């Protein structure tokens, strides 16, 4: 059977090819800022940032083998401390810097994304909606059995983050209204660790960055509102925060080039692909 390619189909194919070539050329153009440069960039802090930071680091290092970029976690508090003490070049935070932190270390902040924080349970959990008041009572230990919120008769296994976490700070301030978190809650070190803990425990409840939501965990609606980035952008979902890169003083050299890359068109695409809302 003969195959006929119409003029319209040929034009569409050429348009798609041209679009792909232009996108590739644009990405290569942005990486030109690193051409011929040598050195290293050390990054640490907030765990929500890691997918974007690692993607950017991989692209830069593949194009420029004499540049090394390390990306570590630790939480927002660690990011502030390490960049402030000169141990890393960029300290990531999932919260704004305090006035004391800026004054103590002379830090500069660069916000690049908007992210929400969602309650997370196992996909095996039948609970599909929670109210803000129920979540507050669960984390305070006042509701300790799933049947208290319409689930099965089973003890609630509570998971939280340590106090260095920006995700925790936003969740505690905006959803828990700075209320108590029961001392018996299990403490995990990152968004990734929280996902693993909740996914493996059908009676668990915790919270994660919306950018980390996937099929391994379930995010119940909060007061009937789904915790999506679209709802976070519109204001319907209120548990939101910005993601920041922070430097000690004005960034220079490779550090400045990296921040500009994250803020540029290619960085915006990587940020969106990671599930966050770019701010630029």
Write down the pLDDT at residue 229: 86
- Tokens for 251, please give them: 């960034």
Write down the pLDDT at residue 2: 38
Phi, psi of 149 (to 5 degrees): -125, 25
Is 80 exceeded by the pLDDT of residue 6?
no
Give the pLDDT band of residue 91 (cuts 50, 70, 90): very high
Write down the pLDDT at residue 144: 98
Q: Which residues contact 156 (CB under 8 A, 6 or more apart)?
A: 138, 143, 144, 145, 146, 203, 204, 205
Task: Give me the DSSP letters along 133-149.
Answer: HHHHHHHTTS--BGGGG
- Quote the DSSP letter at residue 228: -
Task: Please give the domain boundaries of the chain with CATH numbers for all domains.
Answer: 37-113+242-278 (3.40.190.10), 115-240 (3.40.190.10)
- Over residues 3-20, mean pLDDT: 42
- Over residues 114-142, mean pLDDT: 97
Write down the pLDDT at residue 18: 35
β-strands 157-161, 107-121 pairing:
unpaired
Closest C-alpha among 81, 41, 90, 94 to residue 247: 90
Q: What share of the chain is helix, strand, coil (3-state, %, to 5)?
A: 40, 25, 35
Q: Which residues contact 88 (CB under 8 A, 6 or more apart)?
A: 42, 43, 44, 45, 72, 79, 82
- Tokens for 141, please give them: 């230990």
Cα-based distances in Å from 113 to 106, 121, 192, 273: 22, 25, 19, 12
Distance CA 81, CA 71 (A): 15
Is 80 exceeded by the pLDDT of residue 173?
yes
Give percent above pLDDT 70 in the chain. Answer: 90
- Tokens for 222, please give them: 């909060």
- Tokens for 235, please give them: 């204001």
Q: SS3 of 107, please? A: strand
β-strands 90-93, 240-248 pairing:
antiparallel
Write out pLDDT tens, residues 185-237: 999 999 999 999 999 999 999 999 998 899 999 999 999 999 998 899 899 99
Among the residue ranges 7-16, 214-223, 259-268, the one predicted with the least confidence is 7-16
Give the pLDDT band of residue 21 (cuts 50, 70, 90): very low
Give the pLDDT band of residue 4 (cuts 50, 70, 90): very low
Write down the pLDDT at residue 57: 98
- Over residues 32-57, mean pLDDT: 95
Cα dihedral 80, 97, 231, 127 in deg (nearest 10): 60
Phi, psi of 156 (to 5 degrees): -80, 130
Write down the pLDDT at residue 164: 87
> How many beta carbons lie within 10 A of that of residue 68, not counting itself?
15
Largest CA distance in the chain: 76
Write out pLDDT tens, residues 236-246: 999 999 999 99
Write down the pLDDT at residue 28: 56
Phi, psi of 273 (to 5 degrees): -65, -30
Write down the pLDDT at residue 24: 44
């Amino acid at each position: 059977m003969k195959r006929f390619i119409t003029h319209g189909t040929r034009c569409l194919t050429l348009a798609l090819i041209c679009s792909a070539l232009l996108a590739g050329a644009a990405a290569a153009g942005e990486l030109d800022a690193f051409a011929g440069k040598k050195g290293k960039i050390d990054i640490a802090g907030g765990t929500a940032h890691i997918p974007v930071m690692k993607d950017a680091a991989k692209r830069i290092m593949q194009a420029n083998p004499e540049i090394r970029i390390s990306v570590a976690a630790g939480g927002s508090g660690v990011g502030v401390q390490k960049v402030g003490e000169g141990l890393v070049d960029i300290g990531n935070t999932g919260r704004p810097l305090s006035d004391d932190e800026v004054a103590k270390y002379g830090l500069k902040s660069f916000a690049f994304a908007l992210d929400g924080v969602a309650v997370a349970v196992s996909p095996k959990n039948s609970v599909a909606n929670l109210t803000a008041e129920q979540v507050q009572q669960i984390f305070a230990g006042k509701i300790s059995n799933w049947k208290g919120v319409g689930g099965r008769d089973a003890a609630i296994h509570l998971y939280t983050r340590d106090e260095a976490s920006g995700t925790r700070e936003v969740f505690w301030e905006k959803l828990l209204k700075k209320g108590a978190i029961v001392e018996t809650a299990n403490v995990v070190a990152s968004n990734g660790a929280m996902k693993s803990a909740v996914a493996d425990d059908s009676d668990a409840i915790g919270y994660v960055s919306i950018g980390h939501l996937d099929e391994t965990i379930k995010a119940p609606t909060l007061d009937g509102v789904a915790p999506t980035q679209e709802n976070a952008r519109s204001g319907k979902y209120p548990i939101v925060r910005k993601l920041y890169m922070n430097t000690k003083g004005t960034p220079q050299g490779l550090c400045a080039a990296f921040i500009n890359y994250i803020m540029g068109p290619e960085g915006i695409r990587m940020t969106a692909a990671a599930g966050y809302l770019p701010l630029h």
